[in-house]
A and B are shown apart, each in its own frame.
Chain A
Amino acid sequence: MRRILLIIACFWALQGTALGQSHDNHQAEEPHATEAHARHDENAGHEKAHDDEEVDHAAHGDLCAHAGGHQEEEFDPAATAYHHISDANVYTIGPWAFPLPCILYSKEDGWSVFMSSRFGIGHHGNGHKAYRRYVLDEGVVKRIKDPGFPMEEVEIDGIVHQEAETADGKKKVVAWVCYNGQAFETENKSTADFGMFGGGVTSFYDFSITKNVASMMLVAILLGWMFIYVARKYEERDGKAPAGLQSFIEPIFLFIQDEVAKPFLGDKWEKFLPFLQALFFFILGLNLFGQIPFLGGSNVTGNLAVTGALALITFIVVNINGNAHYWKHIFAMPGVPKPLLVIMTPVEIIGLFIKPLTLMLRLFANITAGHMVIIIFISLIFIFGQSGENVGGALGAAVGSTLLTMFMMSIELLVAFIQAFVFTILTASYLGAATEEEHH
């Protein structure tokens, strides 16, 4: 027992320092990135003169004045956290950036399929090239609005961000691409938030195999392989006690079967069991995958799109299987006086949509919060270290943050199970309510 604790402690200590190092790298690499840009400036051969640039600067609000120069950047923990939990078109593990396939669609240019390595992925997932008017900013594909921008692969001077005000007065960060001394405005990919959170439909759609999609595929394949292997073992070892992976999976499987499916679904449990098991293990697998150190820490179940997709599927499965009894209770609750139905029916209909919405938000919020807390704890090292100026502070904070991170990771391990379980048990209860037979 003591030995296991020791191993766990060592593991987490390593994890803390490794993450810390990766940030040290970021800080240290900063000049390299800008150097690359500066070098490019020379290569691209802008010997035109500075006058030209000055004209452009005037036109675009001096945006690109510092694109080639080095800037002392202050450490921003919130931005770091946001960057780490975001989906990306590049899979970064420590100092390595693995390119991923980009599948982009815009109404003007149609489909564009290429590897994200075309962007020349640099530090922090910033590409130093543009291709078919797409650029890679912080690991995310953006599109240059100006149709005058060259379609072919071109080197860019850099990307700068500027806070802008949208039509409805909200502040929004816009990325500008500096090319030939000119600043070109970019826009984000289309999102399905209907403009609620500053997104919305734009000129292009991103169907890329992003970091989250790749993680999901990997987890789905691993889980699939594991379950098919276990299922085959059940056939091979018919009449024998479970062994190995089989005996690891069985208690969890039986837990979902006996504690989730059977109590809520009664004698219809077998019909919905594959769905519930798939939900539970898919969510659990992704929750845990995001927690594995040194594997990029994909925040898959902490992305509203993923939880939204799961909630949407749940919503469809529940309502397709809803029987007459269920619908009667929604539109005309039996035993309720007619005038009250005027209030009751809208409430029930709203409830119909609130159920999957809460499913979506609960999982999303829990996992995102977990990922952010851990990143913030590690950021403490840089806050106390004052970006490398205070070594003692960084050292002290490293010890503290390692302990805090260890503690948080233990909690997150628990949360991974609890949230997968809660999502599944609530789905089972909604399914149970939808398929319950009338009994008086």
Chain B
Amino acid sequence: MIFLAEFSVIKPDIGLLFWSTVIFILFWVVVGSLAFKPIVRALKKREQDIQNSLDEAKRAREEMANLKAENEELLRQAREERSRILREAKEIGDKMVAEAKEKAKEEARRIVTEAKEQIENQKRAAMIEVKNELGMMAIQIAEKILRKNLTGDKEQEAYVKSLIDEIKLN
């Protein structure tokens, strides 16, 4: 008995050819329109979404960077302002202190001067008083001399001398 050894796959069967064509075209049309196209659409949409999200993130990052730079600038300005204000305050303070010192000095000087003037005045008044007193004394002495009878020179001289001594004692 000869076994059927036929390499039949190389002989394209007309029925199989027909069915293959029909099934493949059906598969292509049905799955193509019901699945492949929607999948491509969904994938494209997702790709677009991802791109958009990435762009958005990039923009947000840029904005953040800008904001940060702005903040830093503001901070820097604020710091500058602060140091300027501090400096100015210090200057003003120093000035005020210096002015106060100056004023105090002036006052002191004025007080001293005034005191000096007063002293001078009092001195002068004292001198005048002394002079007046002396005048008075001289008159009194003269009076006394005049009142005494001056008999001799010697007596006179002794008298004057006693008077002068009196003055000295005074």
Contacts and interface: CB of A to CB of B under 8 A. Distances in A.
Interface in B35-67: 35-40, 42-43, 45-46, 49
B53 to A, nearest CB: 10
A253 B1 CA distance: 51
Contacts of A305: 12-14, 16-17, 20
A7 to B, nearest CB: 31
B34 A103 contact: no
Nearest to B39: A231
A216 B12 contact: no
B8 interface: yes
A309 B4 contact: no
The prevalent SS among residues of A at the interface is helix
A85 interface: yes
A310 B24 CA distance: 8
Contact of A199 (B4, B11, B25): B11
Contacts of B35: 224, 227-228, 230-231
Interface stretch (A40-48, A269-277, A380-388, A396-404): A269-277
Contact of A224 (B6, B12, B27): B27
Given A83-B4, A161-B3, A223 B39 contact: no
A253 B3 contact: no
A405 interface: no
A304 B42 contact: no
Interface size, B (range) = 35 or more
A303 B32 contact: no
B9 interface: yes
A160 B1 contact: yes
Interface stretch (A72-80, A115-123, A144-152, A422-430): A72-80
Contacts of A73: 1, 3
A306 to B, nearest CB: 5
A38 interface: no
Contact of A277 (B8, B36, B46): B36
Interface stretch (A13-21, A205-213, A351-359): A205-213
The prevalent SS among residues of B at the interface is helix
A129 interface: no
B2 interface: yes
A301 to B, nearest CB: 10
A137 to B, nearest CB: 7
B9 A309 contact: no
Interface string B95-122: 0000000000000000000000000000
Contact of B32 (A85, A239, A254, A277): A277
A173 B4 contact: yes
Contacts of B18: 207
Given A216-B23, A227-B35, A254 B2 contact: no
B5 A79 contact: yes
Contact of A173 (B2, B33, B34): B2
Given A140-B8, A231-B35, A238-B42, A66 B24 contact: no
Contacts of A86: 6, 8-9
B169 interface: no
Contacts of A83: 4
Contacts of A207: 14-15, 18-19
A212 B40 contact: no
A111 B5 CA distance: 29
B6 A220 contact: no
Given A239-B49, A305-B17, A137 B1 contact: no
Contact of A208 (B3, B15, B20): B15
B5 A275 contact: no
B6, B14, B37 interface centre (most CB from chain A within 10 Å): B6
Contacts of A85: 9
B13, B20, B46 interface centre (most CB from chain A within 10 Å): B13
B23 A278 contact: no
A160 B3 CA distance: 8
A227 B5 CA distance: 40
B30 interface: yes
A389 interface: no
Contacts of B5: 76, 78-79, 82, 173
Contacts of A273: 36, 40
A213 B11 CA distance: 16
A346 interface: no
A130 to B, nearest CB: 17
Interface in A238-267: 238-239, 250, 253-254, 257
A202 B20 CA distance: 21
Instruction: Return the 5 tightest CB-CB contacts between A and B, nearest first.
Output: A274-B32, A227-B35, A309-B20, A234-B42, A305-B16
Interface of A: 66, 71, 73, 76, 78-79, 82-83, 85-87, 103, 137-138, 140, 160-163, 173, 175, 189-193, 197-199, 205-210, 212-213, 216-217, 220, 223-224, 227-228, 230-231, 234-235, 238-239, 250, 253-254, 257, 270, 273-275, 277-279, 282, 299, 302-306, 308-310, 312-313, 364, 368
Given A161-B4, A173-B4, 5 more contacts: A193-B10, A213-B15, A239-B46, A277-B36, A306-B17
9 contacts: A76-B5, A206-B14, A228-B31, A231-B35, A239-B49, A278-B28, A308-B12, A309-B16, A310-B20
